[in-house]
Amino acid sequence: MRSLVIQGMGGTRKLTSFEDLKGVPVWSCNTGYKQIAEQHGHVSKIFLAHTQHDQPVMDKKTGQVVKWIKAYNIEEMNMLIEHGVEILNIHRIKGLKQHLYPLARIDKKFKVNGFFSNTICYMLAYALDFSTKIVNGKLVLKPDAFEKISIYGVDMLTKDEYELEKGGLEFWLGYAMGLGIEIEISQGGALLKTCTGKPYGIRFFDPKDFDPWSMLTRGDKDTMWADQAQPTKKQIKEMRRNLRRSLKV
């Protein structure tokens, strides 16, 4: 079975078992390759969806900005490229030996009208583009298509992710499943889960189910994208159980 692993930068990335992934391509995003290095793993492609920009370094105790640094280490990334890692970006970054992501072509092929809500969507779409061809006006899987895509570290547990990105990402997961590709998602996140964790109508909704961070009762200032919510106690417990289970394997 031809498999692909997509690893995001969320907490469940630690469940990726690189010892079992010899010969399996692993795709990462942004600076996730550094986390993969800490896991003694490997990466074959890195996807970006931003230009070079400044980002803050925060003091963990005070929460204050200590300094500002460039988001991407161009020299470091070019070294990865020289060692066979491909970097794709929808933007050009000066000095980076990247490849441009074929956004217009992929958007036209899948007829999605630009429905890409985060970088992981670009990664899934790229995998589906590789895996499909058009025959008599219909998309069909190619003989060398990915038969299984495993998702780690794409947890959708912050406010921004849950509200702004989760729906688009689940659309692309559904697209892959509709084509017959097996999807595996690490436990501990919110992907492909209802707000109650149960099918609609099985139990009554609690306001915290559909508005876990009380967004409906906050003012505009509190709903800014920078306001990141924390995982619930239940989600944290589930992630810890999964991590303990993985360490026993």
pLDDT, tens digit, for every residue of 26-76?
A: 999 999 999 999 999 999 999 999 999 988 888 888 888 899 999 999 999
pLDDT of residue 145: 97
pLDDT, tens digit, for every residue of 189-224?
A: 889 988 777 787 776 666 666 556 565 555 544 444
In angstroms, rounded to a whole number, what is the distance separating the alpha carbons of residues 111 and 56?
37
Give the predicted TM-score (pTM) of the model: 0.81
pLDDT, tens digit, for every residue of 108-165?
A: 999 999 999 999 999 999 999 999 999 999 999 999 999 999 999 999 988 889 889 9
Tokens of 110: 């899948």
Quote the crossing angle between the two packed helices 166-178 and 119-131, to the nearest 10°. Answer: 10
Confidence of residue 249 (pLDDT cuts 50, 70, 90): very low
